[in-house]
Amino acid sequence: MELRAHVFRNGLANLRFAPNPVSECALASMIVRYPHRHPFHAKWYEETAAGRAVVGEERILALLNREKSLVDVFMRPASRRAATFASERRVLDDIPAARYRHDVEQVWGRDIPDVLGRTDAQVKQNLLAILDDFWRECFEGYWPRFRQVLDADITYRAQTLAALGPAAALAEVQPHFVIDGHDILMPLGNAPWDPYERDTAGSGFTMLPTLVKWGMNLPNSSAADAVFSYRARGRGRLSDNHSDTAPGLVGILGRTRTELLLSLEEPASSTAVALFMGVTTPAANQHLRALAAAGLLQTSRFGRYVLYERTTVAEDLIAAN
């Protein structure tokens, strides 16, 4: 029986992992639509209430429908390393207005929200205005912290790529994909979509880490970029300081090392730890070695990299607090 699947030619050869601030901002509209499904963003949601009122929640929710399908034009491969909102926003200006209208119709069908207008030009202008307002009022101030967690995830993915290769790196974030030589197949099962095929040699095949979703955001049509979101590691670090819930450990280890220990819910390298703690790699190494010497962390080698993880002693200490 032939597998029903979207086929992305040369996808494995052009696989990359990269965040995009434009995509992450647009994906945050899912939190606005379903805040109870995003407990790690509860603090962000509470603190941005005034900003959302300025933007208008009706406008924000025009970016995606109730089935959580996002307008494809905002799910894009980053155009450069260390992409900024400004650099990725400039890319959006060059996309034809007809593409915006097409992508909106893929999400909303004939029921396009009134706030988006009706003509191609109006839809493009209004979508970009919503994105700009949402970024300015609700996202810009939080992006440095969000970016630290996303960068830590990318560091981990780079380690996986270096040690195990692209097929293993892809399987870890999306095990349902099928690898066929250099091609990547996305099985459709009984889904009502018509299978399509496209070559990713020019545009690439991008796995986009996000702090927003549990599942994967898929392209809505063959016209969209081959960009697939996945849940980034370490989203728990978006919550309030963990150390406030473990005053006993703070008294023994200090606040910084307590925060580090509590945040290591998954093995991580010193580089990743430095990124999500906002310190230099030498400073992270100093704290990690001290915790390891105390028997609270153990190390394992992953290819060329050393990963730190909590020991059973550390787990018992945390459970006792």
Q: What is the CATH number of the domain that holds 300?
A: 1.10.10.10
Residue entry with tokens 């939080």? 142
Alpha carbon 29 to chain centroid, angstroms: 13
Q: How many domains does the chain have?
A: 2
Same domain, 210 and 184: yes
Domain-embedded: residue 149? yes
Domain-embedded: residue 236? no
Q: What is the pLDDT of residue 249?
A: 84
Q: What is the pLDDT of residue 80?
A: 87
- Tell me how far apart the alpha carbons of residues 252 and 45 are, in angstroms, rounded to a whole number: 33
Same domain, 263 and 297: yes
Domain-embedded: residue 77? yes
Domain-embedded: residue 1? no
List phi, psi (to 5°) of 230: -145, 160
The 10 Å CB-count burial string (b at 16+, else e) for 288-305 is: beebeeeebbbeeebeeb
Same domain, 65 and 178: yes
Same domain, 217 and 77: yes
- Tell me how far apart the alpha carbons of residues 138 and 131 are, in angstroms, rounded to a whole number: 10
Under 8 Å between Cβ of 305 and 269: yes
Domain-embedded: residue 4? no
Residue after which a domain boundary falls, among 178, 207, 231: 231
Residue after which a domain boundary falls, among 207, 231, 255: 231
Domain-embedded: residue 304? yes
Same domain, 104 and 192: yes
Q: What is the pTM of this model?
A: 0.80
Same domain, 28 and 147: yes
Contacts of 287 (CB under 8 A, 6+ apart): 256, 257, 260, 273
Q: What are the pLDDT tens digits along the chain (321 aa)?
A: 578 999 999 999 999 999 999 999 999 999 999 998 887 788 899 999 999 999 999 999 999 999 889 999 999 999 988 899 999 999 999 999 999 999 999 999 989 999 999 999 999 999 999 999 999 999 999 998 898 888 888 888 888 898 889 999 999 899 899 999 999 999 998 877 889 999 998 889 999 999 987 677 889 888 899 999 998 887 766 665 555 556 778 888 888 888 888 878 777 888 878 876 778 889 999 999 999 999 999 988 766 678 888 898 888 887 776
Full residue range of the structural domain in which residue 25 is found:
11-231
Under 8 Å between Cβ of 72 and 103: yes
Domain-embedded: residue 6? no
Same domain, 162 and 285: no
Residue after which a domain boundary falls, among 231, 265, 294: 231
Same domain, 34 and 163: yes
Same domain, 152 and 43: yes
Strand partners for 184: 8, 179
Same domain, 261 and 157: no
Same domain, 212 and 170: yes
Same domain, 188 and 245: no
Domain-embedded: residue 2? no
